[in-house]
Chain A
């Protein structure tokens, strides 16, 4: 998991000058990784936690849709974006049928709008991560309550045993609203 303030994103395109251009555009706002093929992308994903994957659809070898299918299975938390040229109907169909896509983007995109799209994608990652953390905390709390009840540890007079659980319960309740 990235400890910096910038979201790590992976851009995949078989044309190096496109990657170079995107690096120039995005490097101030994101922690950027690039790959020139689906295989290179999967290698990067094995080594780093990536929040957003943006891939060209039309690449020799593994297409963007094929990469997205694998990434969705192996790295389900990553937000997935596919881009391709306008009116490439077959590519559109394949990308959409892949499922799990956050966005499909057409070339050419407006650079300012692309930054907005990626920032929204990163925000979606954060929201998902927060939901997952909350779910884990809630599950852990519920399990602990059950354990204590089954062990007979909880006694209204035993404040030392009860108070921590009450505090955790109140904290979770205060955090729940965004997920309802």
Chain B
């Protein structure tokens, strides 16, 4: 199996538009916009009970990670760390939902590991974005790469044409 270039597979969670974006951050400030869901891709949780909300969002995010890993494979790259960054807590739900999702992903995924951040400003509109770690771990080396690449990834997030658009599912899964 040929060696693959290591990257941080980063999932940006845009709660204002209820969408996610999956991109890669390399170790040389390179960023790789990969996929973006349509608006309201994540909105289905709002009509559910708490446990189902958590299950629904975990499923959506695992799908985002899977698509990201598949796209990286095509670029001969591999995720050595999963990073989640949400602009805010999930609206229309108990505050602990965000922590529940963060904890679950960080505890269950170990290869590669997950770290889950939240933007201190409650949005991605400020620059630079200061983040707080909600769950999981990241090494100093990966953290440095993340800090260096994040501004460019967030800038790319404002440009639709840089991302492969992921269609909404036909029917929200139960």
Across-interface contacts of B174 in A (CB, < 8 A): 58, 60
Type the 1/0 row for B129-143, where 1 means its CB is closer than 8 Å to any CB of A: 000000000000000
State A15–B67 Cα separation when bound (angstroms): 11
Across-interface contacts of A43 in B (CB, < 8 A): none
State A16–B168 Cα separation when bound (angstroms): 10
State A122–B24 Cα separation when bound (angstroms): 33
| A108 and B167 contacting across the interface, CB-CB below 8 Å | no
Name the CB-closest residue of B to A112.
B1
| B62 and A107 contacting across the interface, CB-CB below 8 Å | yes
Chain A interface extent, by class: 20 to 34
**B12 at the A/B interface (Cβ < 8 Å)?**
no
Min CB–CB distance B119 → chain A (angstroms): 24
> Known contacts A85-B59, A86-B58; is A14 also within 8 Å of B167 by CB?
no
Across-interface contacts of B61 in A (CB, < 8 A): 85
**A87 at the A/B interface (Cβ < 8 Å)?**
yes
Type the 1/0 row for B114-148, where 1 means its CB is closer than 8 Å to any CB of A: 00000000000000000000000000000000000
| B59 and A111 contacting across the interface, CB-CB below 8 Å | no
> Known contacts A16-B167, A25-B73; is A86 also within 8 Å of B105 by CB?
yes
| Chain B contact residues: helix, strand, loop or mixed | helix
State A111–B71 Cα separation when bound (angstroms): 10
Name the CB-closest residue of A to B74.
A24
Across-interface contacts of B48 in A (CB, < 8 A): none
> Known contacts A17-B166, A18-B66, A86-B108; is A60 also within 8 Å of B173 by CB?
yes
State A110–B73 Cα separation when bound (angstroms): 8
Across-interface contacts of B1 in A (CB, < 8 A): 112
| Chain A contact residues: helix, strand, loop or mixed | mixed
| A15 and B63 contacting across the interface, CB-CB below 8 Å | yes
Across-interface contacts of A86 in B (CB, < 8 A): 58, 62, 105, 108-109
Type the 1/0 row for A65-89, where 1 means its CB is closer than 8 Å to any CB of B: 0000000000000000000111110
| A107 and B78 contacting across the interface, CB-CB below 8 Å | no
Name the CB-closest residue of A to B56.
A58
Across-interface contacts of A3 in B (CB, < 8 A): none
Type the 1/0 row for B63-79, where 1 means its CB is closer than 8 Å to any CB of A: 10111111101100010
Min CB–CB distance B111 → chain A (angstroms): 9
**A44 at the A/B interface (Cβ < 8 Å)?**
no
Across-interface contacts of A112 in B (CB, < 8 A): 1, 73
**A21 at the A/B interface (Cβ < 8 Å)?**
yes
> Known contacts A109-B69, A110-B78; is A15 also within 8 Å of B58 by CB?
no
Q: Which of A18, A85, A106, A107 has the most CB of B within 10 A?
A: A85
Across-interface contacts of B166 in A (CB, < 8 A): 17
| A21 and B65 contacting across the interface, CB-CB below 8 Å | no
Chain B interfacial positions (CB closer than 8 Å to A): 1, 55, 58-59, 61-63, 65-71, 73-74, 78, 104-105, 107-109, 166-167, 169-174
Provide 24 A-B residue pairs closer than 8 Å at the C-beta atoms, listed in order of the A residue: A15-B63, A16-B167, A17-B67, A17-B167, A21-B67, A21-B70, A21-B71, A22-B70, A24-B70, A25-B73, A60-B173, A85-B63, A86-B105, A86-B109, A87-B105, A87-B107, A88-B55, A88-B58, A90-B55, A106-B62, A107-B62, A108-B69, A111-B73, A112-B73
